[in-house]
Structures are given as structure tokens and as C-alpha cells.
């Protein structure tokens, strides 16, 4: 009908993350913004694996910002590995469905 009632809508990504090249130890933000009703929950995946943030682990160096972006306090990069390097996507979900962002690669600049 033409009532002013807002209809629920499936999520859509309105801001996609872009590729990043970050120096080791520097902060970084992977942008993601999703719209939908009810407001979608955003999760991040790196190389297909779910990214843990400080919501799950208070000691995590990754924070899920209120808008859905993923913030790194500092890019971790050690001799034994590059835990933050990889291909990221953000996924927004509500009960009507889910939307996946474009892939964004995060690379750590050379030593």
C-alpha cells in the first residue's frame, strides 16, 4: 500500500573496501558500509576465513567500527608471517539476505 510504513529491505553494500598498501606497524582501515532494514550485521572474511575482531577477542588489534569498516590499530607483520595480509571481503546480513562486497587486498609494504 501507500502507507508511510517502511518496508524491510535486504542488505546492500553502499561503500566497498579498496585495496590497501600499508607499512608494517601503521594503522589501516578497510571501508565497508551497508544499508538495509533491519540494519545489517557486518562480518569480515580474509581469504575466506572469518576475521576475529575485538568483539570476540578484547586483545585483538582489529576493531569493527560502528559503520561496518574494519580498523587495524597497527598492521602486524613478523618474520614468521603476515597475519593481516590477504584478500578481504565484507558481508552484510539481515534476515532477508546478505550482500558481499568486492574483494580488497591488503598488502604490507616491503621491509
Q: Walk along the chain (111 residues) and give the pLDDT tens digit of each residue.
A: 566 678 999 999 999 999 999 999 999 999 999 999 999 999 999 999 999 999 899 999 999 999 999 999 999 887 778 889 999 999 999 999 999 999 999 999 976
- Judge whether 37 lies within some domain: yes
Q: Domain range spanning residue 63?
A: 9-108
Does the residue 85 lie in any domain?
yes
- Does residue 83 sit within a domain? yes
What count of residues does the chain have? Answer: 111
4 lies in a domain?
Answer: no
Q: For the whole model, what pTM was predicted?
A: 0.89
Domain count within the chain: 1
CATH number, domain of 24, equals 2.60.40.10
Amino acid at each position: 500500500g501507500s502507507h508511510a510504513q517502511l518496508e524491510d529491505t535486504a542488505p546492500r553494500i553502499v561503500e566497498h573496501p579498496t585495496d590497501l598498501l600499508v607499512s608494517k606497524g601503521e594503522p589501516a582501515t578497510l571501508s565497508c558500509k551497508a544499508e538495509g532494514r533491519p540494519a545489517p550485521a557486518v562480518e569480515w572474511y580474509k581469504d575466506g576465513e572469518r576475521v576475529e575482531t575485538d568483539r570476540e577477542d578484547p586483545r585483538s588489534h582489529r576493531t569493527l567500527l560502528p559503520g561496518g569498516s574494519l580498523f587495524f590499530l597497527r598492521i602486524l607483520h613478523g618474520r614468521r608471517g603476515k597475519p593481516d595480509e590477504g584478500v578481504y571481503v565484507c558481508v552484510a546480513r539481515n534476515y532477508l539476505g546478505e550482500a558481499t562486497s568486492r574483494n580488497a587486498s591488503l598488502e604490507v609494504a616491503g621491509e
